[in-house]
Amino acid sequence: MNDESSGSAPPSRPRATVTPLRPRSRVGLRIGGSDAPERREVTVGFIPLTDCAPVAVASALGFDRKHGLIIRPKREGSWAAVRDKLMNGAIDAAHSLYGLVYGIQLGIGGPRHDMAVLMTLNQNGQAITLGNHLRDAGVTDAATLSRHLATRHGELAFAHTFPTGTHAMWLYYWLAAHGIDPLADAQTLTVPPPQMVTQLRLSDIDGYSAGEPWNAQAVHEGVGFTVATSQQVWPDHPEKVLATTTEFVRQYPNTARALVMALLEAARYIDNPAHHEMVAHVLAARGCVNTDTGLLLPRLRGEYKDGLGHGWNDGRAVRFHGGGSVNYPYLSDGMWFMTQHRRWGLLKQDPDYLAVARQVNRIDVYAQAATAVGVPLPSSPLRNSTLIDGQYWNGHDPAGYARGFPIMAAATRARSNLM
């Protein structure tokens, strides 16, 4: 697979030498005997983003070997490649967009395949970046973007990373929360994350929604500015997940459990601020994100500069563990993505939201793994959230929630029919 160039970056620091952890004994499960992983090696696909950290760290620092596995991280060029390779078995599991998994499960945009979410890998830490040509035209926030779009109806192009994925949903939700219809007032297209900055620099797109470090890269290169973070759209939102197929879990249940155990321990390690520099060095390697630690560290630590002269320490920056609250595969999180797929016309009718979430989100596997490594479980598989537009989400009445937005695909079609 070809690595994508990350463009210019601050001067490189010497790479740290990564020493694998020594395997230690586990409580409750045995590496030998009936609890042993059926597979010694597991290939895990990932996209070069900061939030692939649990996969990269588990492999580099030996959390996989501690639990009887060897994780083989495999860098992929696009989310479409991740989707296809999960379905055809070319990779065993993946660092994946949450909504991508549900798109496959429901047959949106391609063949349907039974999927499994084993754990959430991170919350927060994505952003929406606009080109500096828009800043020069007076756009600095959603309100000024809305006024600018009124004079350039449908002419601006915004990129996301996959049609059913998280970045598309953050982009659509943020625009709609400010009265901008993403289906009518602008063009949207799909671009692989490492190509975002280049396309913005070339003026092929006017902005994008993506993960780090590609938002920080645009600010560093002076080609774009951060207009919103994803945690402003939904504080502590679910982001990437550990995805695999139902067949893999059925055939290799011990392997699936051991993989979750390894990534849980890696996530716990990553969340310790004392480890952030080591994590950045692991991620910066050529075979991983292939950039400089100076682009990774600040937003990993929650230190933001938006390219408009503002800087802040974000109390809801990317996090990977949170005492286990990040990693639990909440049913309500999976259901939320289905409500947005329905809202934007990707689903033509309401699925059985709860039944699908119970099938995909493998709480049983997660609970076994979390208990084995001492990670507490929540009291409920549903959680409550209030998003940027004031909409309250708790997993109840998902069909009503999906049709309760003033801007949605059905409303856009209705307006078109009146013209």
Per residue of the chain (419 residues), give pLDDT as tens: 333 333 333 333 333 344 444 433 344 455 555 789 999 999 999 999 999 999 999 999 999 999 999 999 999 999 999 999 999 999 999 999 999 999 999 999 889 999 999 999 999 999 999 999 999 999 999 999 999 999 887 789 999 999 999 999 999 999 999 999 999 999 999 999 999 999 999 999 999 999 999 999 999 999 999 999 999 999 999 999 999 999 999 999 999 999 999 999 999 999 999 999 999 999 999 999 999 999 999 999 999 999 999 999 999 999 999 999 999 999 999 999 999 999 999 999 999 999 999 999 999 999 999 999 999 999 999 999 999 999 999 999 999 999 999 999 976 654 545 44
3-state secondary structure of 401: helix
pTM: 0.91
Assigned domain for 4 exists:
no
Bridge partners, 304 (sequence order): 312
Longest dimension (CA), the chain: 69
Q: Using CA atoms, how far apart are residues 223 and 132, in angstroms rounded to an integer? A: 5
Instruction: Tell me which H or E stretch contains 259.
Output: helix 253-270
Angstrom distances, CA of residue 169 to CA of 46, 73, 238, 252, 341: 20, 27, 12, 32, 8
Measuring CA to CA, which residue among 93, 109, 123 is closest to residue 230?
A: 123
Assigned domain for 74 exists:
yes
Q: Give the start-end residues of each E strand in 279-407.
A: 303-305, 311-313, 385-386, 392-393
3-state secondary structure of 353: helix
Residue with tokens 């991508």: 100
Residues, the chain: 419
Q: Using CA atoms, how far apart are residues 369 and 347, in angstroms rounded to an integer? A: 33
Q: Using CA atoms, how far apart are residues 209 and 180, in angstroms rounded to an integer? A: 15
Assigned domain for 67 exists:
yes
Angstrom distances, CA of residue 41 to CA of 14, 71, 202, 264: 30, 6, 41, 18
Q: Using CA atoms, how far apart are residues 408 and 390, in angstroms rounded to an integer? A: 16
Cα 54-333-378 angle, rounded to 5 deg: 75
Assigned domain for 389 exists:
no
Q: Using CA atoms, how far apart are residues 134 and 336, in angstroms rounded to an integer? A: 32
Q: Using CA atoms, how far apart are residues 338 and 186, in angstroms rounded to an integer? A: 23
* Amino acid at the residue 317: A
Assigned domain for 416 exists:
no
Assigned domain for 5 exists:
no
Domains: count for the chain: 1
Residue 405 CB neighbour total at 10 angstroms: 19
Bridge partners, 385 (sequence order): 393
Output the domain CATH number for residue 92: 3.40.190.10
Assigned domain for 317 exists:
no
Angle in degrees, 0-180, between the axes of helices 293-300 and 214-221, rounded to the nearest 10: 120
Assigned domain for 282 exists:
yes
Q: Using CA atoms, how far apart are residues 163 and 30, in angstroms rounded to an integer? A: 42
Name residues whose C-beta falls within 8 Å of residue 250's C-beta, 6 or more positions apart in sequence.
none
The reported pLDDT for the residue numbered 34 is: 77
Angstrom distances, CA of residue 5 to CA of 8, 193, 198: 9, 11, 9
Q: Using CA atoms, how far apart are residues 102 and 82, in angstroms rounded to an integer? A: 14
| DSSP one-letter string for 130-156 | EEHHHHHTT--SHHHHHHHHHHSTTT-
Measuring CA to CA, which residue among 399, 218, 360 is closest to residue 291?
A: 218
Sheet holding 157-160, edge to edge: 187-190, 157-160, 207-211, 126-131, 224-229
**Domain of 274, in residue numbers:** 33-123+239-308+322-330+351-372
Per-residue exposure over 266-283, b if at least 16 CB sit within 10 Å of its own CB, e if not: bbbbbbeeeebbbbbbbb
Measuring CA to CA, which residue among 224, 238, 232 is closest to residue 389?
A: 232
